[in-house]
C-alpha cells in the first residue's frame, strides 16, 4: 500500500509519498520527498530516521503526524 499526501514545509505545500515496509520485524516507512527517499520508524520516543536521512526534527514530526492520520483514517 502506498499513500500520497501533502504537508506544509517553510510555507510551501509539498507532496510526499509514504510506503510502509518491514525490516527484520521492525515496521518502517519509506518517505519520498523532493525526489529523495528517507526511512523513518516510530519508537517509544516518537519518530526516528535512518542515519543517512537529513530530515530536521520539525519535518520528521510533521511526516509522523501525516502517517498517524492516514493510518487512523484507514482503520475507521
pLDDT digits (tens, 9 = 90+) for 12-69: 999 999 999 988 888 899 999 988 999 999 888 888 888 777 888 888 888 999 898 8
Q: Is the pLDDT of residue 72 over 90?
A: no
Task: Supply the pTM of this predicted model.
Answer: 0.79
The whole-number pLDDT of residue 28 equals 92
Distance CA 11, CA 62 (A): 13
What's residue 53's pLDDT?
77
Q: How many domains does the chain have?
A: 1
* Containing structural domain, residue 15: 3-75
Residue 70: pLDDT over 90: no
Q: Which residues is 28 bridged to in the sheet?
A: 21
Amino acid at each position: 500500500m502506498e499513500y500520497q499526501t501533502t504537508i506544509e514545509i517553510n510555507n510551501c505545500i509539498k507532496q510526499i509519498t509514504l510506503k510502509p515496509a518491514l525490516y527484520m520485524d521492525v515496521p518502517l516507512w519509506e518517505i519520498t520527498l523532493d525526489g529523495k527517499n528517507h526511512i523513518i520508524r516510530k519508537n517509544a520516543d516518537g519518530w526516528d530516521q535512518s542515519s543517512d536521512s537529513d530530515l530536521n526534527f520539525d519535518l520528521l514530526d510533521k511526516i509522523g503526524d501525516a502517517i498517524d492520520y492516514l493510518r487512523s483514517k484507514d482503520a475507521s
